[in-house]
């Protein structure tokens, strides 16, 4: 057998191996989904309605004061409401609005702070724009939700929590998405 024939035969075998590996990888997706469904983990299917939280403390209210800053950024940044009254354990959503007033895209990242400082450990964010960098195009306006729960274990002497988000520009990311 010539070297050319051996190379063709080897190429054919490698092609079949590659095709087999692709097929195996493709078959793993439904297999993985079935295992996850059987174990009840990592489900990407629609979930049932969330159960009603029975741990809401209706006997007390906490005022959440909302603040915003855009540290040396060409953004207007503000909460849509200045404060909300919540019951500890209650799931709450508030919205912030940001506007890029620069004639070019700008990327920023928000950092939260709390007052009193110890209240931060009881303020549990479920969804927050502070988890990701935000790139706004020139003149773009965006509304960003914050979904949170105040832990019912919040000390009884804390009746007000100030939550402040400060956006800082991400260096080198101004014109990138």
Domain ranges for the chain: 1-47, 62-169
pLDDT at 13 over 80: yes
- pLDDT at position 6 is 84
Distance CA 138, CA 162 (A): 31
**Can you tell me the mean pLDDT for 14-22?**
72
For the whole model, what pTM was predicted?
0.65
Longest dimension (CA), the chain: 89
pLDDT, greater one: 43 or 77? 77
pLDDT, greater one: 50 or 2? 2
Poorest-confidence range of 13-22, 97-106, 139-148?
A: 13-22
pLDDT, greater one: 167 or 24? 167
Rg (CA), the chain: 26
Return the CATH superfamily for domain 62-169. Ctag/Cox11 (2.60.370.10)
- At residue 38 the predicted structure's pLDDT band, cuts being 50, 70 and 90, is low
CB 169 within 8 A of CB 73: yes
């Amino acid at each position: 057998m010539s070297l050319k024939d051996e190379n063709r035969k080897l190429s054919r075998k490698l092609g079949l191996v590659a095709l087999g590996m692709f097929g195996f990888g493709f078959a793993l997706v439904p297999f993985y989904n079935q295992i996850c469904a059987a174990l009840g983990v990592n489900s990407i299917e629609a979930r049932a309605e969330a159960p009603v939280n029975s741990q809401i403390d209706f006997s007390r209210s906490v005022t959440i004061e909302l603040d915003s800053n855009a540290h040396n950024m060409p953004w207007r940044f503000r909460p849509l409401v200045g404060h909300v009254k919540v019951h500890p354990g209650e799931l709450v959503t508030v919205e912030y609005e940001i506007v890029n007033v620069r004639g070019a895209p700008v990327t920023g990242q928000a950092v939260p702070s709390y007052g009193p400082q110890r209240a931060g450990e009881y303020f549990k964010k479920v969804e927050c724009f502070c988890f990701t960098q935000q790139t706004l195009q020139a003149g773009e306006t965006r509304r960003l939700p914050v979904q949170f729960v105040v832990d019912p274990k919040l000390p009884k002497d804390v009746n007000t929590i100030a939550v402040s988000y400060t956006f800082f520009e991400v260096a080198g990311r101004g014109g990138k998405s």
